[in-house]
Amino acid sequence: MQAGLSVVCVGVATHDVIAVASDPLLPDGRIVAEAIVDAGGGNAATAAVALARLGVAVEFVGRIGDDAVGATIRKRLGEEGVGIAGLREVVGGQSPASVIVVNPATAQRSIVTLPAAGLALELGPAELEACRRAAWIHVDYAGHRAIGQIRRAGIRTPVSLDAGNAVADLDLREIALYAPTRSELCRVMGTGDVREAIELAIAAGPRMVAVTMGEEGSVAGVRTAEGGVAFLQAPAFPVARMGSTLGAGDVFHGALVAGLALGRGEGEALLWANAAAALACRGVDGRSAIPVLAELEAFLSGGGGRKLSDSHNCDLR
């Protein structure tokens, strides 16, 4: 495990094949791709890559099969500077993989995924110790299952949850940073009012709730010392060359945790997250265009930079 570890990411790592094609998919049809890209993916794994590129010492904990796909997943994460001692092979297991078709005109995509098989995530002693030493633990829908084991081991490290995908048996009492999409937050909280949904979520446990809202940017609620909720909203950032939105949410989560782990305030971390996610959309895959720290800071201080807003100036309905 890495020395000076700041974040442990727990969850899914995949192998992706992305086809760029403008023509629609038709039954028994054939379309010509403009490009086919081979890349790494997965919610927690892509967040880990974003953390590493932003200068944060990060370890990935997950499971892969003892197959060629798993070997590729491991190689790519290691090349990005992500610690992979916690990425363990399961004999006879099936590594997860996806085939993705991206329309370059709309940046929309369709995903066909092969889920992991036989890869139960039970953390070992070294992985639990890494979680104990870290400043943050970041989990996705699969890594969420490990929180109970982490807490039973007496580890009180704050947990960030990527809830872009629905999370089974969601329990917010052990979550410090809850980061869903707007639709997922409103579904879970049973209200279409984003402000009300954030307040309900914070009352359930998290200190911070950060909600992604696509082209409208993101909004966050932070519990104050007095027990109230302070609201912040960060704008979306346009980029000159749009590849696809694949992995943008994962990059958002990684950059948000990176900002917090590096001691930035919640507002600055929210801006970081929006800007990093926007820059990542320059690539067709979810990783190749993730910015490094100097690039992100230059973007925010130059023409791409925008300001944080109070929620009273924003429509949170």
Q: How confident is the model at residue 304 (pLDDT cuts 50, 70, 90)?
A: low
pLDDT grade, residue 306 (50/70/90)?
low
The amino acid present at 171, given as its one-letter code, is D
Q: Is the dihedral of CA 241, 58, 140, 272 positive or negative?
A: negative
User: Which of these, 206, 197, 259, 204, lies nearest to 234 by C-alpha position?
Assistant: 259
Confidence of residue 315 (pLDDT cuts 50, 70, 90): very low
Would you place residue 26 in the very low, low, confident or very high pLDDT band (cuts 50, 70, 90)? Answer: confident
- The fraction of the chain above a pLDDT of 90, given in percent, is 78
251-268 burial: b if 16+ Cβ within 10 Å, else e: bbbbbbbbbbbbeeebbb
Above 90 in pLDDT, residue 175? yes
How far apart (Å, rounded) are the C-alpha atoms in residues 284 and 286? 7
The tokens describing 131, both together, are 């979680």
HSE toward the beta carbon, residue 289, CA cutoff 13 A: 23
Contact in structure between 48 and 256 (CB atoms under 8 Å) = no
Question: What SS3 state is found at 62?
Answer: strand
Average pLDDT, whole number, for the chain?
91
What is the rounded distance in angstroms from the CA atom of residue 142 to the CA atom of residue 139? 7
Length of the chain: 317
Contact 128, 155 (CB under 8 A): yes
Dihedral sign, CA of 93, 6, 255, 83? Answer: negative
Measured in degrees and rounded to the nearest 5, phi and psi for residue 112 equal -115, 120
Q: Where are the alpha helices (DSSP H) in the chain?
A: 43-53, 68-79, 125-133, 147-152, 182-189, 194-203, 248-261, 266-280, 293-301
- Looking at residue 185, its amino acid is L
User: Number of H helices and number of E strands within the chain?
Assistant: 9, 14
Checking if the pLDDT of 38 tops 70, the result is yes
Segment 53-74 shows an average pLDDT of: 96
SS3 content of the chain, % helix, strand, coil (to 5): 35, 25, 40
pLDDT value, residue 303 = 55
Average pLDDT estimate for 8-12: 97
7-25+35-313 CATH pick, 3.30.360.10, 1.20.58.1910, 3.40.1190.20, 3.90.1150.10: 3.40.1190.20
Local confidence band at 29 (pLDDT 50, 70, 90 cut-offs): confident
Could you state, in order of their start, the residue ranges of all structural domains in the chain? 7-25+35-313
What are 139's two structure tokens?
């989990």
